[in-house]
Amino acid sequence: MRWKQRKPITPFNSYDNTYSKLAKIHGIDNIDQFLNPLSNVICDSYLLKNIDALARRIILAIKNREPITISGDPD
pLDDT in tens, 7-56: 777 778 788 888 888 888 888 888 888 888 887 877 777 788 898 998 99
Exposure string over 40-74, b if 16+ CB within 10 A, otherwise e? eeeeeeeeeeeeeeeeeeeeeeeeeeeeeeeeeee
46 DSSP assignment: G
The reported pLDDT for the residue numbered 57 is: 93
Q: Is there a contact between 61 and 68 (Cβ–Cβ < 8 Å)?
A: yes
- The stretch 53-64 carries a mean pLDDT of 94
* Rounded distance between C-alpha atoms, residue 44 and residue 39, angstroms: 10
